[in-house]
Structure 1
Amino acid sequence: MCPPDLRPVAALRPEHRDDTRIDPRDDAGGFQPDVSGHGGRAVRPQLARLDGVVPAAGCADEAGRALRGGGQRASGTGRADGSAVGPDGSRTGDSGPRFDRTVPTNGYAWWYVDALSDDGRFGLTIIAFVGSVFSPYYAWARRRGPAEPENHCALNVALYGKRARRWSMTERGRGAIARDEARFAVGPSSLSWNGRELSIDINEVSVPWPLPLRGKVRVVPTALNEVAFTLDAEGRHRWQPIAPCCRVSVDFDHPDLHWRGDGYFDLNHGDAPLERDFQSWQWSRAATRTGTVISYDTVARAGTDKSIALHVDPDARLRRIAPLAESPLRKTLWRVDRSARADAETSVRVVSTLEDAPFYARSHLAARIQGEDVAVMHESLSLDRFQMPIVQAMLPFRMPRRAGWRGQR
């Protein structure tokens, strides 16, 4: 039996919604817009067209209402029956990102944001790392002995869409970062939390072509969750879906890009390298009419595989659900294995492979989940591949290291 709903510490009601849409100068491409037969009007915010007309997602509807409201609404501190959280989820006491959290030697923390535009033409992912888990420099440092995570920090920014595709991930040393509870600065870029929204100021250079990547992203949650889950039997690796339902605004000068859409915000942190304890994982999230459905499947080296399946409503109430049926997907060009969760006896389609690396893939999928046709953001990770010497030797071309910074702190 699935346990009752888990209630968050507080639900946020942001003060307003900015309904500005994407700059018309930007071409569609990469993502296909969802349009009806009447004047090209979008019928659903998602990454790309799904077959048929699909009602608006729950996160989109609820977030829109929240952003037009005002004030802040408390939503309780326990399950409906007042009992403790179930064995796979525990309260952290943190209903925000807490950028000052302690990261132990050889450990890591990363804050992850993804979003897709309301018209389905653009998307992004942003990941801020302390102890960059995919850094070859951090891996090499650990081989020499205990390594300091703050000497291996990075902000990874990926933009998807025609005339807007960019990717950057420059690693910085401890002298080029600053952290406190509400702010994390990495070189010239930073993340700031004011208790209601996350602001990300980006000033990076993309690779492989050295183009400027400058802009601002605002992430406004509909509510916050303080329940975290362990990903391994020993409890060394933890995951907290901080805000599974968000509104996101994207405003870049370089490239010239402006859009609004629905998003997702979470945190992973751990006390040991990922490759020490895991062989691989598959993760996905999908917006539905009633919230967000998340699937997280890990394959552990110790043989204790784990599947976490959640439904999270726009007030950040978590409900454990039975894992959906597993559907194998075609391998990427780099031959990374992929599989996804969806309703039984339904097919899952790869609409687009957004990132294809030797050990990692990010994909946009079309699937049927809880009876709805939905767009799915999906990632596949092979840590066996990541620790191969040839892969480690390739990574610096995509992840340059600049230990210092001319504005050094």
Structure 2
Amino acid sequence: MIAFIGSVFSPWYRWSGRRDPDNHVCINVATYGPGGRFTMTDRGRSALRQTEDSFTVGPSSLHWDGNALRIDIDEISAPPVISRVRGTITLTPRAVTTVELPLTPDGAHIWRPFAPVSDIQVDLDAPGWTWSGHGYFDANFGTRALEDDFSFWTWGRYPVGQGSTCFYDASRLDGTTLAAAIRFDDAGGAQVMRDPPTLTPMRRSLWAVKRETRADAGHKPRQVSPMLEAPFYSRSMVRTQIDGEQTTGVHEALDLRRFCSPLLKPMLAVRVPRRPRWRFAD
């Protein structure tokens, strides 16, 4: 689940010139497996309400109560299966970190891993969509379009020991690279890995998106479950080995060169409908 102000992957936001992020807001929800759904409605500024502890986009909202983040969802999924996606997600951080990582030297893009180790309760209104387990909470902030600064990146979060390890690897358009590897513990502590595992290629996605993640020397990471596939993006469950420990986590690969293609935007518009008007009941 992702909440956007300025929907990064919305063709409508791109076509607007990205001048008014508050007029392109969205709460994206994706479920996987049999009956999986995808919702990503681009809404106008009338749908946006914010306070210090809450964020509302039309019929869905997020609320922080000081200990947990409650997400109330009421969305319509995109084709090919159009139906309601409703329910509640509650994410309880074991600790909140103080980490902010600039993804570019000038700080135009920032990664903020609020709670890399969390507990999550999912209660959606459909058979099999109720479960609890290991969760994660982060945010990205930026003042420029991703494709203006990056050509490709991968990100992964893997539970290890009493915490989790995150890898952020990116190729920038200026020829430099980002190679971040950070260990997080249950208390919110963070430690940069000075000698991280090797960046290792994986099999390409169904859309032939290049994929790679970090793994101990001699170990070949592999996908164990697909999650979300697009011509420019892949999200999947990946099994790798870190410092001798086998672990399965969430992996993402993003090809910004493909995302730049004008041919892709009409395809995205089918999956990301635009609803510019919204009226709250009160």
Which category describes the TM-score, using the shorter chain as reference length? over 0.9
Q: Choose which of 203, 207, 210 in structure 1 pairs with 2:74.
A: 203
1:354 paired residue number:
227
**Match of 2:278, SS?**
coil
Q: Choose which of 152, 160, 185 in structure 2 pairs with 1:288.
A: 160
2:202 and 2:220 in contact (8 A); partners too = no
Aligned pairs for 1:102-181 within 5 A: 126-142=1-17, 147-163=19-35, 165-181=36-52
Matched residues in 1 for 2:281 and 2:198: separation? 50
2:60 paired residue number:
189
Instruction: Please report the TM-score for the alignment, with normalisation by the length of structure 1.
Output: 0.67
> How far apart are residue 210 of structure 1 and its match?
1.2
Matched residues in 2 for 1:335 and 1:247: separation? 33
1:187 and 1:408 in contact (8 A); partners too = no
Aligned pairs for 1:179-328 within 5 A: 179-208=50-79, 209-254=81-126, 257-321=129-193, 322-328=195-201
2:46 and 2:279 in contact (8 A); partners too = no
Matched residues in 2 for 1:254 and 1:214: separation? 8
Are 2:217 and 1:344 aligned? yes
Q: 1:202 to 1:349 in 2, by over 3 A?
A: same
1:233 and 1:304 in contact (8 A); partners too = no
Are 2:255 and 1:392 aligned? no
Deviations 1:17-71 (A, max 9, x none): xxxxxxxxxxxxxxxxxxxxxxxxxxxxxxxxxxxxxxxxxxxxxxxxxxxxxxx
> How far apart are residue 274 of structure 1 and its match?
0.8
Q: 1:408 to 1:383 in 2, by over 3 A?
A: farther
Are 2:208 and 1:331 aligned? no
Deviations 1:301-334 (A, max 9, x none): 1112111100000001000002311111111121
Deviations 1:172-193 (A, max 9, x none): 1001110122111011000001
Give the CA RMSD over aligned residues. Answer: 1.3
Q: Match of 2:100, as an amino acid? A: A
The total of aligned residue pairs comes to 280
Long gaps (5+) in structure 1: 1-125
1:86 paired residue number:
none
Deviations 1:123-161 (A, max 9, x none): xxx00000011111111111xxx6110001111101123
Matched residues in 2 for 1:254 and 1:290: separation? 32
The structure with the larger Rg is 1
Q: 1:252 to 1:141 in 2, by over 3 A?
A: same
- Identity %, equivalent residues: 43
**Match of 2:218, SS?**
coil
Matched residues in 1 for 2:220 and 2:201: separation? 9
Matched residues in 2 for 1:177 and 1:256: separation? 31
Q: 1:176 to 1:408 in 2, by over 3 A?
A: farther
